[in-house]
């Protein structure tokens, strides 16, 4: 099933609850929550307290993208703050298998993210353990960047790898997804679509409805 995961990184933090409510009411089922530590990526964003607050007013699937070094340290805290899916970067994990097991033990679904230049071979011995793979389609750290074209072939190759193994793992794409490249990433095999600046700029309800129309017709 195709899902839209609006990224609150692009929301108005002075009216965060209201922005989330609009996205939820217009049909978005996932909420993408970008956590940045100023080490793994250059920027800082927010952490557990913000998540705990918004969890009280939303039943969306909380899809937490940890762009942080040493994510093991925070997995339990994010699960307790209301994460449904926890994504860690392969590039940030020394013992990826152990980290994925810790996510599941904490009661969340496990996802591994790969930066645009990280090869799919990183997933060779872990794919069967994952609920989702996140392919970064920009270099992580900032919203509003341009989609990196070489990622289309990477999505296709990952979908083939998943299908060849008889799996049905979700593929999430994150970065630079707009209405004008949405169909391309869906055709390549992605089914969970993160969109930040394309959703939270201008008319949020209309933006979500426009995305949902393509996602449900695909
Ligand atoms: O993980 C991220 C950045 O590291 C964000 O989820 C991503 O950039 C979404 O923003 P946009 O749709 O504006 O590109
Ligand atoms: Fe993200």
Q: Exposure pattern of 9-25 as b/e (b: 16+ CB <10 Å)?
A: bbbeeeebeebbbbbbe
Give the Å distance between the CA of 166 and the centre of ligand 1: 30
Contacts of 175 (CB under 8 A, 6+ apart): 136, 137, 138, 139, 140, 145, 147, 148, 194
For the stretch 70-106, what's the b/e string if a residue is b when 16 or more beta carbons lie within 10 angstroms of its beta carbon? ebeebbeebbebbbbbbbbbbbbbeebeebbebbbeb
ipTM field: 0.98
Centre of ligand 2 to C-alpha 125, Å, is 24
* pLDDT per position as a tens digit, 111-125: 999 999 999 999 999
- Render pLDDT for 7-28 as a digit per residue (tens, 0 to 9): 999 999 999 999 999 999 999 9
- Ligand 1 atom with the smallest distance to the CA of 41 is 4
Question: For the chain, which domains are there?
Answer: 3-217 (3.20.20.70)
Q: Is the CB of 118 under 6 A from ligand 1?
A: no
Residue 6 scores a pLDDT above 90? yes
SS3 20: helix
């Amino acid at each position: 099933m195709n899902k839209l995961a609006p990224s609150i990184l692009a929301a108005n933090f002075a009216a965060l609850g209201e922005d989330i409510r609009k996205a939820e009411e217009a049909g978005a089922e996932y909420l993408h929550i970008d956590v940045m530590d100023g080490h793994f990526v250059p920027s800082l964003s927010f952490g557990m307290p913000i998540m705990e607050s918004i969890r009280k007013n939303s039943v969306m699937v909380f899809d937490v993208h940890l762009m942080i070094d040493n994510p093991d340290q925070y997995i339990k805290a994010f699960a307790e703050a209301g994460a449904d899916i926890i994504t860690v970067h392969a590039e940030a994990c020394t013992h990826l298998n152990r980290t994925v097991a810790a996510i599941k033990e904490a009661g969340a679904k496990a996802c591994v993210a790969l930066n645009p230049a990280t090869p799919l071979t990183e997933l060779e011995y872990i794919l069967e353990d994952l609920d989702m793979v996140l392919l970064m389609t920009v270099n992580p750290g900032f919203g509003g960047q341009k989609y990196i074209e070489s990622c289309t072939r990477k999505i296709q190759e990952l979908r083939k790898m998943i299908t060849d193994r008889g799996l049905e793992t979700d593929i999430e794409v994150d970065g630079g997804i707009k209405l004008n490249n949405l169909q391309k990433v869906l055709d390549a095999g992605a089914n969970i679509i993160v969109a930040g600046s394309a959703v939270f700029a201008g008319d949020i309800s209309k933006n979500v409805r426009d995305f949902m129309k393509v996602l449900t017709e695909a």
